[in-house]
Structure 1
Amino acid sequence: MSRIDVSNLTFYYEGSYENIFENASFQIDTDWKLGFIGRNGRGKTTFLNLLLGKYEYTGTISKSVEFDYFPYEVKDKTRQTIEIVEEIYPQYEFWELCREWSYLKGTDDVWFRPFDTLSHGEQTKVLLVVLFLKENHFLLIDESTNHLDMETRQVVCDYLKRKKGFILVSHDRTFLDGCIDHVLSINKNNIEVVAGNFSSWWENKQRQDAFELAENEKLKKDIRRLTAAARQAENWADNVESTKIGKKSFKYEKCIDTRAYVGEKSRRMQSRRKNLERRREAEIEEKSKLLKNIESQEEIRLVQAKHHKELLVEAKDLTLRYGEKEVCSGISFELHQGDCLVLEGHNGCGKSSVIRAILKVTETAQEKQTSESLERLQMDGKLELASGLKISYVSQDTSYLQGKLQDYIIQEKIDETLFKQFLRKMDFARSHFEKRMEEFSEGQKKKVLLARSLCDQAHVYIWDEPLNFIDIFSRMQLEELILKYRPTMILVEHDRTFVERVGTKIIKM
């Protein structure tokens, strides 16, 4: 057991006007299992890269362990998996590898298959196993759950629960609760480490936020009252001061006594005014310490189109295939207005193909990256859509987002004000409006697609894994949006908490 000490860490990117981190200090025990939480673009991956020594910074990071980053970059994926293992960790023992692999419920044939023939879930599990075999290494796990189905997420979660010594970046609340014992959070104004899982951290944060909001309101009232009292005391003092000169008594002795009395009264008034000012300044200083880390989760409003029919999509005994390869069969469901239908199942079972089939029927698919698969997709059975149905689609892929945001707005014919309003409410910095989209993080790219979709006044919103890379706070905002406005939706999503909250129908494939 040892420690990682971060002291006065300050870092900014060249050309940036703001520090990513400023005088951040905290300690981490190398036996802890830390969940790393923070808004998109707040600096989580940057911090992991600082630990890896990729950037220059001021301050100190002292440690007695080696860091390994996940996902490990595999340059030639056509090689056998066992060769990839040997490249990452030449000192591995095959029996240890097989023992760890059994914990992840993997099949033994993976080691002698080309790495690129493994599913995304199998690739994730292989790399985790190899990296955890290394002794005295602290693992930096960056968003391992993206594209993993619920079943595989649970297997990986159970595996990580057996381990220790890692920082895990994940936005899946159920996943975090299942495998961490500490939370490392990048807040608006600091970085903090607390014991517990996500739920306990979130409960404490809500309690702290509620206290600060209440305290802030109390101090605002106190400041207004003290300001008014100080102003009144100042007026009284000025009025009393003016009576010291210009008014004479008939007797000289009486005049002296009166002026002494008035002077003392004026002094007391001035002293009272100064005391009120000092109290007001103290309250203002106390107030300035509040609300610095409260995350704004503004309500996102949605205007959706209303269709004249109640039943919008109907599938019955639907079979989908690409050429001779059948991907799914016997799919039946009905989508009524107000439904949030979730397609659930392991990767490769045909969830995205069902979405492509609907897009093919509507002939409204605009995403270039889906055109080839749409052409090859063949279907048998019944798939009927209401006439004139307008669909808003969010794909998994963000790689085609390139160029300036302003050009994208013109190309997609989006209401610019509404689009940027949605982005701002999801904590998208105004400075990013001027950047090229290639420079955005994956979470920021996904927010662009979601904001564009929300601008559509559609009858049905079809979102294919919309939460990949999206931070927890934005997920909560989207949950509240769906629960309040109940748009008609078809979702493919593996975040169990999100699905349980918003889904009204679940189709297990």
Structure 2
Amino acid sequence: MSMIQVSHLTFAYEGSYDNVFEDVSFTLDTDWRLGLTGRNGRGKTTLLKLLMGQYEYVGTISAQVEFDYFPFSVEHPEYLTMDVIEEFYPDYVDWELRRELSLLQVSEDVLYRPFDSLSNGEQTKVMLAALFLKENHFLLIDEPTNHLDREARELVSQYLKTKSGFILVSHDRAFLDTSVDHILSINKTNIEIQQGTFSDWWEGKQRQDQYELAENEKLKKDIKRLAQAAERTNKWSHEVEKTKNGTLNSGSKVDKGYVGHKAAKMMKRSKSLENRQQAAMEEKSALLKNIESSENLKLSQLTYHKTQLAELDRVSIYYGDKPVCTDVSFTIEKGERIALSGRNGSGKSSLLKLLVGEDPPTYTGTFRIGSQLKISYVSQDTSHLQGTLTEYANAYGVEESLFKAILRKLDFARIQFEKDISSYSGGQKKKVLLARSLCEEVHLHVWDEPLNFIDVLSRMQIEQLLLEYNPTMVFVEHDREFCRRMATKIVQL
């Protein structure tokens, strides 16, 4: 056991006036299985790269272990997988590697295939196996689930449960709950560490938030009372001041000195109340420093004139002569939220492309879709995103103010609106696609892995939206908890 000590860490990207981290200090145990969570854009990947020494920073990071980052860079993906591993770790022991691959249910024949011929899921498992071969190394595992289907996620989470000494960035709640024993959360104003699973941390955060909100209500009432008292006292002092130049009922002159003293005394009391009010307001501001905004989203889906929107009857999809799925049959009825489920490569994305007519694949069987049916499609790919949010909204014909309002509710800072979309984090880019889709007036939403890179709080907002508005949709998503809560029907491929 050894410690990783971060002291007074301050960092900002070159050319930026905003610090990602400011005077942050914390200590980590290298035996922990640590989950790293926080809103998109808070600096999770940045923190991992700072630990790797890739950026210059103010403060100190001290550790008696070396850091390795997942996914590591592969210079020659055309090499055989065993050669790629040897380039990364020349001293690996062959039987130990085969043991790790066996634990991850990866066939040994992948070692004799070119690395770039492996599926994304196989590449993920091979990289993890290689990383865990090294001793006295602390692993920084960044979003390993993005290329794993649901079955593979469960397998990898069980694998990580048997290991120790890593930081894991993932927004999949079930995956985190199985894999980690501590949570490091990047909040609005600080970094906190708590023992337990993600669910333990979330339960504690909700309790803390409720306490802070209750205290906030008390403060608001106190501020209102102080404001009313200050207003009354101020009014009285002005009334008394007016009498300085008047006369008493008996006709005698007013004692201006006495009246002025009394008015000044009341004015002083008024100022004291105002100061107390201001102090209470500042206390309120400090109290709510880590309350996360998660306002409700809104969706206005068009009503289709028929109950059934589309039908697939014994549909098989082909790429060349090779079938990717066969004899798929299901209907899409109004109000259904249909989850397509299956291993990577089972044809889920191909079916979605058939539905939306985007580069439609070759198929056999019967496919019927309603006339004049309007569809909003969210693809996995965000690489095409560039330009300003205004330009993007105009290109898709969505209302700019609504589009930006949704992004604000998904925790976009206003300063992000001025930046080019290409500079956004992976999660922020995915939110752009989702916000645009929520703005579009359509009959059907088709989403392909919409939650990749999306932070947990935003996932919960989207869940709440779908449960409240009950839109008709077909989606592919490997987040087990999201599918459990959202799907009204599952089509297994």
TM range (shorter): over 0.9
1:250-308 per-residue CA deviation (whole Å, 9 max, x = no partner) reads 9xxxxx9xx99x99999997886677556545433421221111111111111111111
1:405 to 389, 396, 402: 389
1:155-194 to 2 correspondences below 5 Å? 155-194=155-194
CA–CA distance in structure 1, aligned partners of residues 38 and 316 of structure 2: 42
1:310 touches 1:336 (CA, 8 Å); kept in 2? yes
TM-score, normalised via structure 2 length: 0.93
1:134 aligns with 2:134: yes
Residue aligning to 1:298: 295
The question of whether the paired residues in 1 share the 8 Å contact of 2:124 and 2:147 is answered with: no
Counterpart of 2:483?
A: 499
Residue identity opposite 1:338 in structure 2 = G
Aligned residues with identical type, % of pairs: 58
Partner SS, residue 347 of structure 1? coil
Paired residue for 1:388? 372
CA shift, 1:55, in A, is 1.0
5+ residue gaps, structure 1, are 251-255, 366-370
Q: Once the 2 structures are TM-superposed, how far is the Cα of residue 418 of structure 1 from its aligned partner?
A: 1.8
| Aligned Cα root-mean-square deviation (Å) | 2.5
CA distance in 2, matches of 1:242, 1:455: 59
| AA in 1 matched with 2:474 | I
Q: 1-side partners of 2:116 and 2:184: how far apart?
A: 34
Q: Does the C-alpha gap of structure 1 residues 418 and 239 become closer, same or farther in structure 2, counting only changes over 3 Å? A: closer
Partner of 1:427: 411
CA change 1:316–1:179 in 2 (3 A) is same
- Output one character per residue of 1:133-183: Cα deviation in whole Å (capped at 9) or x when no partner: 111111001111002100000011001111111111111011011111111
- TM-score, normalized by length of structure 1? 0.90
Quote how far apart the aligned CAs of 1:53 are.
Answer: 0.9
Q: How has the CA–CA distance of structure 1 residues 300 and 245 changed in structure 2, closer, same or farther, with 3 Å as cutoff? A: closer
| Equivalent-residue separation in structure 2 for 1:403 and 1:269 (angstroms) | 59
Unpaired runs of at least 5, structure 2: none
The separation in 2 between residues aligned to 1:66 and 1:498, in whole angstroms, is 36
**Alignment check: 8 A CA contact 2:185 2:192 kept:** yes
Give the distance between the partners of 1:286 and 1:416, measured in 2 at CA.
36
Measured in 2, the distance between the counterparts of 1:402 and 1:266 equals 64
The residue matched to 2:35 in structure 1 has which SS?
strand
For the 8 Å contact 1:321–1:378, the answer to whether it is kept is yes
Q: CA deviation at 1:354?
A: 1.1
In structure 2, what is the equivalent of residue 253 of structure 1? none
Aligned 8 A contact 1:341 1:490 in 2: yes
Q: Deviation digits for residues 315-338 of structure 1, max 9, x if unmatched?
A: 111111112101111211111000
- The residue number in structure 1 matching 2:104 is 104
Q: Which residue of 1 aligns with 2:332?
A: 335
Q: Which among 472, 475, 492 is matched to residue 488 of structure 1?
A: 472
Q: Distance in 2 between matches of 1:454 and 1:246?
A: 68
- 2-side partners of 1:450 and 1:15: how far apart? 29
- The question of 1:89 aligning with 2:86 is answered no
CA-to-partner distance for each residue in 1:444-481, whole Å, 9 max, x for gaps?
Answer: 11111111211211111110111111111111111111
Contact 2:449 2:476 in 1 (8 A): yes
The alignment partner of 1:146 has SS state of: helix
1:226 to 2:226 alignment: yes
Question: Which piece of structure 1 moves more, 427-436 or 190-199?
Answer: 427-436
Query: CA 1:238–1:327 in structure 2 vs 1: closer, same or farther (change >3 Å)?
Result: closer
- Residue 326 (structure 1) aligned with residue 336 (structure 2): no
1:13 is displaced (CA, Å) by 1.3
Give the aligned length: 488
Q: Residue 127 of structure 2 aligns to a residue in which SS?
A: helix
For residues 323-370 of structure 1, give each alpha carbon's deviation from its aligned partner in whole angstroms, at most 9, with x where no partner exists.
21011112111110000000001000111111122233xxxx3xxxxx
2:34 corresponds to:
34
Report what 2:284 is aligned to.
Answer: 287
Once residues 230 and 355 of structure 2 are traced to their aligned partners in structure 1, the CA distance between those partners, rounded to angstroms, is: 69
Do the aligned partners of residues 420 and 263 (structure 1) sit closer, same or farther apart at CA in structure 2, a change above 3 Å counting? closer
* Structure 2 CA distance for aligned equivalents of residues 446 and 280 of structure 1: 43
1:80/1:111 contact within 8 Å kept: yes
Deviates more, 1:469-478 or 1:414-423: 414-423
Shift in alpha-carbon separation, 1:60–1:505, aligned structure 2, 3 A: same
| Structure 1 match to 2:53 | 53
Give me the whole-angstrom Cα distance separating, in 2, the residues matched to 1:311 and 1:388. 13
Q: Displacement of 1:112 after TM fit?
A: 1.1
1: distance between equivalents of 2:426 and 2:90? Answer: 32
CA distance in 1, matches of 2:412, 2:282: 29
- Listed one character per residue, the Cα deviations across residues 46-79 of structure 1 (whole Å, up to 9, x for unaligned) are 1111111111111111111111000011121111
Question: Could you tell me whether the CA contact under 8 Å between 1:147 and 1:465 is conserved in 2?
Answer: no
Q: For residues 407 and 67 of structure 2, what CA distance do their matches in structure 1 show? A: 35
